[in-house]
């Protein structure tokens, strides 16, 4: 059974399509394009389609990675896959079935735009020894150090921990940076000049494995 790994982008209004909706979207696109995807067994068969990391609703990305198993050669069909506005298939290649993408995922890279208002917060963040974070997990809430989830931070690019062993959503980081900025400036929400971070644009640009290599390119 052939396995394929592909890269797609999800931008503009397509960012509001949820992960579950996206799965259905690809299933239907495969069917429209005559791609015989392999289905799981059982009562409600679904396409054997695996994603590296679900994108939050509202988050744009220039490079998402997924894998699909088909019952016959589908390279040409995948290359020409027709998709709705805002979602585009950028690259596809055949691979040997290996470790699931989600297990290999180690980090996600984000491009940050219009971040001038929160530069102050970023400076503070980088200077702090430890940033306490009540992280919500499946089991409840644990107290962790947010800095351990931020591999690198510059004014226009963040590399954040992602994958099965835990990750951080860039919006959560943004909220903290906004908080740090306003605390430093002594501003409350009702004050003039309060920085709200709503103009900061964050777009995912890459997914990396645990060795820091491109998730699509390697493995």
Partner 1 sequence: MHNLDFSLVEKPSRYIGGEVNSVVKENAAVRFAFAFPDVYEVGMSYVGLHLLYQMLNELDYLACERVFMPWVDMISQMEEKEIPLYTYETMTPIGECDFLGFTLQYELSFTNIVKMLSLSGIPVFSSARDASNPIVIAGGPCAVNPEPLADIVDLFCIGEGEEVMVELFELSRQFNLRDNAQRDTFFAHAAQLEGVYVPRLYRPIYVADRLTGYEDLNGNPMKPIRKRVAPPYRYTKQIVPFTEIVHDRVSMELFRGCTRGCRFCQAGMIYRPVRENTRESAVEQAKELIANTGYDELSLSSLSTLDYSEIEELIDDLLVAFDGTGVSLSLPSLRMDSASVGVLQEIQKVRKTGLTFAPEAGTQRMRNVINKGVYEENIIHTFEQIFSMGWFRVKLYFMIGLPTETDEDVEGIIKLARSATWIYKRVKPKDVKKSVEVTASASCFVPKPFTPFQWHPQCSIEEFEHKISVLKAANPNRKINLNYHSPKESWLEGIFARGDRKLARVINRAVELGCYFDGWADQFKFDLWMRAFDDCGIDPKYYNERKRSMDEFFPWDIIDTGISKAFLQREYEKALRSEETHDCREGCVVCGIGCMTEEGLSRFSFSDGISIPRPPAKETSKFELGGQNAAL
Tokens for 136, please give them.
């919500």
Would you say 30 or 216 has its CB closer to partner 1?
Answer: 30
Would you say 30 or 125 has its CB closer to partner 1?
Answer: 30
Tell me how many residues contact partner 1 (CB under 8 A): 22
- Does residue number 45 form part of the binding site for partner 1 (CB under 8 A)? yes
Stretch that binds partner 1, among 79-87, 108-116, 144-152, 173-181 (CB under 8 A): 79-87
Q: How near is the Cβ of 199 to partner 1 at its closest, in Å?
A: 12
Judged by CB under 8 A, the residue of 27, 123, 179, 210 near partner 1 is: 27
End-to-end CA distance of the chain: 18
Judged by CB under 8 A, the residue of 25, 91, 102, 187 near partner 1 is: 25
Identify residues 134-193 at the interface with partner 1 (CB under 8 A): none
Q: How near is the Cβ of 215 to partner 1 at its closest, in Å?
A: 25
Judged by CB under 8 A, the residue of 11, 17, 62, 95 near partner 1 is: 17
Q: How near is the Cβ of 13 to partner 1 at its closest, in Å?
A: 4
- Does residue number 32 form part of the binding site for partner 1 (CB under 8 A)? yes
Q: How far is CA 38 from CA 6, 49, 124, 157, 197, in A?
A: 16, 9, 50, 38, 43
Which residue, chain included where needed, has tokens 């609703």?
Answer: 57
Which residues of this chain interact with partner 1, rule CB under 8 A? 13-14, 16-18, 21, 24-25, 27-32, 39, 45, 57-58, 82, 84-86
């Amino acid at each position: 059974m052939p396995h394929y790994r592909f890269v797609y982008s999800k931008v503009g209004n397509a960012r509001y399509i949820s992960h579950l909706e996206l799965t259905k979207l690809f299933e239907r696109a495969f069917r429209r394009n005559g791609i015989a995807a392999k289905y799981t067994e059982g009562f409600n068969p679904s396409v054997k389609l695996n994603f590296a990391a679900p994108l939050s609703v509202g988050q744009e990305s220039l490079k998402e990675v997924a894998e699909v198993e088909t019952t016959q050669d589908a390279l040409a069909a995948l290359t020409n896959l027709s998709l709705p506005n805002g979602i585009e298939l950028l690259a596809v290649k055949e691979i040997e079935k290996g470790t699931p993408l989600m297990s290999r995922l180690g980090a996600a890279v984000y491009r940050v735009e219009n971040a001038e208002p929160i530069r102050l917060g970023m400076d503070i963040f980088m200077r702090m020894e430890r940033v306490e974070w009540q992280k919500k997990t499946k089991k409840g809430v644990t107290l962790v150090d947010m800095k351990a989830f931020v591999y690198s931070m510059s004014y226009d690019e963040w590399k954040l921990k992602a994958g099965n062993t835990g990750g951080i959503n860039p919006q959560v980081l943004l909220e903290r940076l906004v908080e740090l900025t306003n605390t430093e400036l002594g501003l409350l929400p009702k004050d003039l000049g309060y920085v709200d971070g709503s103009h900061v644009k964050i777009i995912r640009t890459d997914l990396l494995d645990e060795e820091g290599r491109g998730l699509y390119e390697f493995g």
